[in-house]
Structure 1
Amino acid sequence: MSAAASHHITPAVREWIAEQARAGHSPQVLLESMKASGWEEDAAIEVLETVLRDIVEAHARQQALPSANRVPEPALNGAPATLWAHDREVRVVMALRDPRVVVFAGLLSDDECDEIVSLAGARLARSHTVDTTTGASEVNEARTSDGMFFTRGEHAVCARFEARIAALLNWPVENGEGLQVLHYRPGAEYKPHYDYFDPEQPGTPTVLKRGGQRVATVVTYLNTPLRGGGTTFPDVGLEIRPLKGHAVFFSYDRPHPSTRSLHGGAPVLEGEKWVATKWLRVGRFD
């Protein structure tokens, strides 16, 4: 937090923000009110984020929730229409604060999408999930897609893609897992789930030895299905339409449902869906 923002957070400001939050007003409503009172937008955003984060942390301590981790975050102060991602400009299509969900357009070109699909096609097998009771991977009936993993930087297009994600989200390349490519045929889906590893499961300590906890996900659409196949966030009634080259980013600062990061892949109703998923860890993933 900057010195200027710290100076602005008086007890009266802190209490006003807390009262408005308890009354159910969204951060956007609070921001507009502060701007109408003469606040500069960047200062108001920084103060709001600091106070609301403090409120969430206090609630978490009261509820004995897991401690929060630092998470990847794009530079969205000032509501930019575009961001520079390593070697290309991407558009910011949508941004939601709670849960943190951001949709980007043009993270991959059409040709890059086609190249990744082609490289992945020969290595597809029934998709697995991590079994946190043992730490091993397993076929899960909730996930009816085919998939494969690239190692980090395995092909030039993968390395370029990973560099863009790192630059866009201000997160080290080495803290990312390898890209997973998934192929959904008509009727295939991935039922709502969390991407973090449940700390209550006995296999989680084994999984966390490589990079620690997951803190964010980037799902990039490699084609546009004819119907269906959206990415859903049931806790907030949100569904992202899968469009070729677009990506949805979401973060979760602790392994707990309070992050409202429950999400799923809706059934493909017509055509097929290809996605590339990138999970980001709190530490280096080797």
Structure 2
Amino acid sequence: MQEKISEVLFWTILSSVLTILPFILFINYIITLYNKKNIEFNTQLQLRNLEKEKEILKTRIDVQEETIQKISKELHDNVNQILTLAKLNLNDSNNEFKIDKINVSKDLITNAINELSNLSNSLSSQQVKDLGIIRSLEIECDRIMKIKNIIFLIESNIAHNNINTEDQIILYRIFQEGTRNSLIHGQASAIDIKFLQTDDFEYVFEISDNGNGFDLNNEEFIEKNKLGTHQGLKNMQRRASILNAIFSIESSINSGTIISIRKPRTNQ
């Protein structure tokens, strides 16, 4: 009888172990698979973060290069011209109006100092951090209108403190790039800036001009764009991607250009 009970107990334990063992192995497999997937996910996340940091670093380098070019152009086209006029005025050998010439030269030098100050502020991201993008846009538009025959119109329903500061700085750089293209290539006489919040988007940033425009479907334009010739356009596209925003451009010959950056709401 004792042997019978022992045998039954043995087979009961054995059957229980054989029943539980596959379950334990299955649980172990699930945990191993989960850990593997988790490691793969974290690796991919780190790679994406590194790629984004790489893009941000590249953008900052590009901005520095653009800043150097802009300083050079502004100094040559504007400040240098003012100081040259002051020098010519002082070199005039006519002593009859000497005091008047000195006063005129002082005014010219004061203008040059102001231009240098304005240029410095427009190139510094600190201004956007301190004043916000809307006020910074107004200051830059006023500065450009003093030296260019152009009209700016700014429309916004956004308080700058509702938008990430880094986003504001990148949008400001896009504005500078887009405006430069409108002035140099488009020969525009009017530029409209819109910075709006909508139900679908955290913000819509739009730059539109009445310039010459261009044909987006033109084979030469498409080929140059592939080769990276249109660097300004590439810069704006890359910066929009850093913002996780949608970049679009509309243009046609003699009908101006519209550049749009739309950032979808994250809760959608």
TM-score, normalization: structure 1?
0.28
Name whichever structure is richer in strand by fraction: 1
User: Relative contact order: is structure 1 or structure 2 higher (C-alpha 8 Å, sep ≥ 6)?
Assistant: 1
Name whichever structure is richer in helix by fraction: 2
CA radius of gyration, larger in:
2
TM-score, normalization: structure 2?
0.29
